[in-house]
Amino acid sequence: MTQKNRLQSGGRVDRSTPLTFSYNGKQYTGYKGDTVASALLANGVDIIGRSFKYSRPRGIVAAGPEEPNAVLQVGATEATQVPNVRATQQELFNGLVCESTNGWPNADFDVMSYIGKAGGSMLTPGFYYKTFMYPQSMWETYEKFIRKAAGLGRSPLENDPDFYDHLNQHADVMIVGAGPAGLAAALSAGRSGARVILADEQSEFGGSLLNSRELIEGRPATEWVASVVAELSELDNVLLLPRSTVNGYHDHNFLTIHQRLTDHVADKAPAGQARQRMHRVRAKWVVLAAGAHERPLVFGNNDVPGCMVASAVSTYINRYGVAPGQDLVVMTTNDFAYQTALDWADSGRNVVAIVDTRPNPNGDRVAAAEKRGLRVIKGAAVIEVQGSKRVSGVSIASIDAKGDKVVGSVERLSCDTVASSGGWSPVVHLSCHTGSRPEWRDDIIGFVPGKTVQKQLTAGGINGSYSLKACLEEGARQGAEAATNAGFEVAAAAVPAVAEVKEGAAMALFHIPHTKPTSRAPKQFVDFQNDVTAAGIELATREGFESIEHVKRYTAMGFGTDQGKLGNINGMAIAAKSTNRTIPETGTTVFRPNYTPITFGAIAGRHCGERFDPKRYSSMHKWHLENGCTFEDVGQWKRPWYFPKAGESMQDALNRECKATRESVGILDASTLGKIDIQGKDAREFLGRVYTNAWAKLAVGKCRYGLMCGEDGMVFDDGVTSALGENHFIMTTTTGGAARVLEWLELYHQTEWPELEVYFNTVTDQWSTMTISGPNARNLLAELTDDIDLSNDNFKFMDWKEGSVAGVPARVFRISFTGELSYEINVQANYGLYVWEKLFEKGAKYDLTPYGTETMHILRAEKGFIIAGQDTDGSVHPYDLGMGWCVSNKKPFSYIGKRGMAREDCVKPNRKQLVGLKTKDPSVVLPEGAQAVKDPNQPIPMTMLGHVTSSYWSANLNRSIAMGFVRGGLERMGESVFYPLADGRVVEAEICSPIFLDPKGERQNV
């Protein structure tokens, strides 16, 4: 296809570099410098999609991020699919593949349009609620249908081959937007030496200057842009970010920038290059120079392809060398759109008429158009468009001075393009992200940024300052002020000479009247993406949705991926008028980040795959890997779970590991337990305050188990703490609780008891800890140490000794979590693997068996030892656990948890208590979480007495064992409780002591 709308000359495209691309399966040609939108327009593609609700054909309306219709699915392969790409922002590259996302099965012929035509009158606003919300169980079905028909795009089914990146930036001055105001601001700020970041969403800097034919210093404005960019590029303190959308403005001047590094180059990023980058910027001062978006006017059939925003038409002509039609009608409420008519005429096309809603327009541009001989129809409006797949003509009529009603007869004009302008809306979005409400200004007929607590300045179009001179002046001044405020005092850069253009006053008109009432007139669209019409908004207000937030949710106005950039102000104006309020009284909806859609890749950055979350390893990890270990995640740690041998099931492995440990000796990598070094003369006192039991008399060389509670008296961690010296202890915590416990100790030390002389330091990573457990533990250890007397008289249960193991200095703690004779060997982690391997060298003859967390859980459950976090859940105190022996109420200080445990509810009878559970059928293993009831025949809802917390098959006891909570359980030994399971079975279990094996504790004391 030829580029029938491409002009012979002009624009910033490179006609010597043609690029081919595919749209909806057809090949087209554009030029380097095109966007997909400009290339499609050049090729005469009118229909870019189908509308959301009515399935009406839609064309390109705008030229920037506010485009509501031209939302494409881009990607040549499944893996490189990107949904929700605005054709107006996607630069063309050779081989680009894209398709319409709106329109199913295709944009030109659309089955939904029949539904739209047949049921159009039934699809009133609020149809989400009225039609689809009931019955609720059907929502999933509806949602798939809506999503497909609505064209929200689809995510790829394959992994993204590209990588994305984040950069943390710090700036003195962050300037958003590189139009005339932003460039002038950057010049001032950059020259001060301040660290400046200048970001703009477009491929080149210049903003509106790229689209206009204005002169600066008597030369094309783009020459001035080039000179400014050249100067800024030379400054080390200035970072220039084109193709970078400032998408979020967060608290304390934190901004997120989405930079597209290679989206303009190819479908996939070149090898070694990040496709996109998120800059996370902390700025001392921010200058918002985000400009303004032109509003289209709301009139009958204003969505027919060929209806465009006036400035977009100028942009396609001036920047891309594309005139998207032959015969133009301009409708405007202001002077700016006259420039579009002049641009159109200068491109050699026919201007049918300029229809001005004002009775007496009088600015310089009006005079220029009239001088040029263009037909100007004053005090009139385009009330309706003819055509279905492309504009074929318009109906125009005179309107009254307020723009409320049609007063004259209707005239028809033939044309294929309608450019409308209802004035400009400052891009206030970013200024609203931090909670600031925009303020309405009658003089510019728009919202401008409101009061803010951010260190923020604004310049140019965002302030409603639309003349080039004002933009340059404000930019230079605000850039200098921002730099000065940030500590880099500087004067404003000199403003270059520009011609001054006299502007006539604009008319505040949004919704063009029709000869028929709005409800009967042809559809007048406000929000193209969500098919919200003026009639729909009026209906919503009549139905009582007066708050603009309610109107938004009822009509879905502004809900699309364009977030109502084009239509919101028109919608608010219509809602205001139909509720007899002013626009400021009606207010705006809230703008939130992100300003434009952003890829998940950019959000994730490098934090994906193996780098998604840190994995923590012990020094012996390599050995575990080499010995077939299966791992369990405990917090961020990779802990050995069990060590299956060839052909073994998990249960086989556990049975073997459990028996080997009780019959000879097993070994556990316990390095992940939290370890806290505690030094200071008040260490002992501190321990007494944070543990429930007594520490005053623990002798040096001894170890003691402790329970830690919150102020509510509920257990939150436990572990063994050992007296290394009079003023020196080492505390162990659960693996998952290490960081929390350390912070808990610091919290109390720093805020409540700073007078206690004690220091806490984490030594979790400092020590490799290996626990050998079983009747042969002493024999094995004896083979590796010659300086520790291991005799039971010298080295008792709950003692620790220092000596060497395999020639490495070690602290050996005789503590036991299995109930067997156990030694916990601690060596500096640099020697962990060495000592571990030496243990295996000597351990072969004892069948030294490595075991992991699962066997550890079984062995401790056989002994009735709790695991904090498994057998506790934040609602149980030590007495509930049957661990009153671990509570000392003789301590003089009211330790943490003491008062909490004494609360009325904590001391009442019949609390849930931890007990052992033996199933009547020993082969049945209760599921953890199973609920206990007294009477399994009680109708539902049954009275639940508690639940199973730990449950295993015990190979040593050749039966199942379990622990769980039962109301009043400690008083109910020998009674039966029942566990009705989800599969219909009811398991009966007898309440018993949780100590299933060696109740006198003889095995650990041998």
> What residues between 648 and 677 interact with another protein by CB under 8 A?
672, 677
**CB nearer another protein, residue 195 or residue 552:** 195
* Residues with Cβ within 8 Å of residue 582, at least 6 apart in sequence: 440, 576
Cβ-based neighbour number of residue 91 at 10 Å: 20
CB of 751 to another protein, least distance (A): 5
Which one of the spans 69-77, 271-279, 648-656, 773-781 is the region binding another protein (CB under 8 A)?
271-279
Strand residue runs (E) in 710-853: 715-725, 728-733, 759-762, 767-773, 800-805, 808-813, 822-828, 849-851
Residue list 554-613, contact with another protein (CB under 8 A):
606-607, 610-611, 613
Which one of residues 128, 617, 797, 840 is an interface residue with another protein (CB under 8 A)?
A: 617
Which one of residues 111, 115, 167, 970 is an interface residue with another protein (CB under 8 A)?
A: 167
- 308 residue type, one letter: M
Largest CA distance in the chain: 115
Residue list 754-813, contact with another protein (CB under 8 A):
754, 757, 759, 761-768, 802, 804, 806-809, 811
Cα–Cα separations (whole angstroms), residue 146 to 69, 121, 508:
17, 18, 36
- 385 residue type, one letter: V
**CB nearer another protein, residue 505 or residue 756:** 756
**CB nearer another protein, residue 456 or residue 561:** 456
Which one of residues 4, 148, 170, 402 is an interface residue with another protein (CB under 8 A)?
A: 170
**CB nearer another protein, residue 194 or residue 573:** 194
Which one of residues 616, 656, 877, 967 is an interface residue with another protein (CB under 8 A)?
A: 616
Parallel, antiparallel, or unpaired: how do β-strands 439-441 and 446-448 relate?
A: antiparallel
CB of 40 to another protein, least distance (A): 34
Residue list 811-840, contact with another protein (CB under 8 A):
811, 827-835
**CB nearer another protein, residue 515 or residue 828:** 828
H or E element: which one contains 900? helix 898-901
Strand arrangement of the beta sheet that strand 666-669 belongs to: 800-805, 808-813, 822-828, 767-773, 666-669, 849-851
Residue list 338-397, contact with another protein (CB under 8 A):
none
Residue list 438-467, contact with another protein (CB under 8 A):
453
Q: What is the DSSP code string of 556-601? A: TTT-STTTTTTTHHHHHHHHHHHTT--HHHH--PPP-S-SS---HH
* Residues with Cβ within 8 Å of residue 116, at least 6 apart in sequence: 51, 53, 54, 55, 56, 123
Residue list 916-975, contact with another protein (CB under 8 A):
none
Residue list 700-719, contact with another protein (CB under 8 A):
700, 711-712
CA 997 to mean position of chain CA atoms: 51
CB of 165 to another protein, least distance (A): 7
Say how many residues touch another protein, by CB under 8 A: 88
Length of the chain equals 1006
Which one of residues 903, 976, 986, 1006 is an interface residue with another protein (CB under 8 A)?
A: 903
Percentages helix, strand, coil for the chain, rounded to the nearest 5?
25, 30, 45
Q: What is the DSSP code string of 684-702? A: HHHHHHHBSS--TTPPTTB
**CB nearer another protein, residue 142 or residue 759:** 759
The tokens describing 495, both together, are 């403003």
Parallel, antiparallel, or unpaired: how do β-strands 238-241 and 26-32 relate?
A: unpaired
Which one of residues 372, 796, 899, 920 is an interface residue with another protein (CB under 8 A)?
A: 899
**CB nearer another protein, residue 170 or residue 219:** 170
Binding mask 734-753 for another protein (x = CB under 8 A): ---------x--xx--xxx-
From CA 158, how far away is CA 830, in angstroms rounded?
Answer: 42
CB of 230 to another protein, least distance (A): 24
Which one of the spans 87-95, 163-171, 530-538, 989-997 is the region binding another protein (CB under 8 A)?
163-171
Which one of residues 775, 900, 922, 927 is an interface residue with another protein (CB under 8 A)?
A: 900
Binding mask 401-440 for another protein (x = CB under 8 A): ---------------------------------xx-----
Which one of the spans 413-421, 725-733, 770-778, 817-825 is the region binding another protein (CB under 8 A)?
725-733
Task: State in Å, rounded, how far the first CA of the chain is from the last one.
Answer: 93
Instruction: Tell me the sheet residues that pair with 967.
Output: 912
CB of 616 to another protein, least distance (A): 4
Residue list 843-882, contact with another protein (CB under 8 A):
none
CB of 633 to another protein, least distance (A): 14
Which one of residues 390, 728, 934, 959 is an interface residue with another protein (CB under 8 A)?
A: 728
Q: With beta carbons less than 8 A apart as the criterion, state whether 835 and 825 touch.
A: yes
Which one of residues 373, 544, 614, 974 is an interface residue with another protein (CB under 8 A)?
A: 614
Residue list 190-209, contact with another protein (CB under 8 A):
195
**CB nearer another protein, residue 518 or residue 721:** 721
Radius of gyration for the alpha carbons in the chain, expressed in angstroms and rounded? 38
From CA 914, how far away is CA 966, in angstroms rounded?
Answer: 7
CB of 301 to another protein, least distance (A): 45
CB of 710 to another protein, least distance (A): 9
Which one of the spans 246-254, 516-524, 868-876, 959-967 is the region binding another protein (CB under 8 A)?
246-254
From CA 149, how far away is CA 225, in angstroms rounded?
Answer: 43
**CB nearer another protein, residue 350 or residue 889:** 889
Which one of residues 618, 816, 853, 949 is an interface residue with another protein (CB under 8 A)?
A: 618
Phi, psi of 574, rounded to the nearest 5 degrees = -70, -40
Which one of residues 622, 645, 845, 920 is an interface residue with another protein (CB under 8 A)?
A: 622
Q: With beta carbons less than 8 A apart as the criterion, state whether 596 and 65 touch.
A: yes
